[in-house]
Structure 1
């Protein structure tokens, strides 16, 4: 069986509905608009799908690092004498 036959059979028997090229393009444009680098370009040439996905993954990784850094900073602050028990309780309640 040729690879093109397998692909077409997979598409027909797959459980997920097919998405048109136009829908994919629209979703990529929306995703790109959420990226800070894309907003800085403000209307510049839209990147390839691979580029948009790479930028998205990179941005998500940077957000994870930022959350980790902020968590460490907050943990150190809560463990220090700079915050009263009452202030620490308020901070913890806001995080729950």
Structure 2
């Protein structure tokens, strides 16, 4: 997949799958700690799914907290300006 776009219909090769699994393994905190014990591709993929679900729950919780905070400070306040400017930063 290096540089060229794959069509959604074309299947990944085993080498490409292995490469993606290895790259994913490097990104997951739980898997990095266990890497020396020989984690299988199946375990890595399960952990990826669990990690993404945890991140989604965390984002949902933070979004809810932010909504509550924005509602509690009122409109056109200095705090709202600060929050909006922070949210607009990348």
TM exceeding 0.5: yes
Q: Report matched runs for 1:21-36 at 5 Å.
A: 21-36=14-29
Q: Report matched runs for 1:1-96 at 5 Å.
A: 15-16=9-10, 19-48=12-41, 50-81=42-73, 85-96=77-88
Q: Which runs of 5+ in 2 are unaligned?
A: 1-7
Larger Rg: 1
Q: Which runs of 5+ in 1 are unaligned?
A: 1-13
Per-residue deviation, 1:95? 2.1
Deviation per residue, 1:44-82 (Å, 9 max, x gap): 31323x32222111111100100111111222222225x
8 Å CA contact retained: 2:31, 2:47: no
- The aligned length equals 79
Per-residue deviation, 1:42? 4.0
Q: CA RMSD in A?
A: 2.4
TM-score norm. by structure 1 comes to 0.65
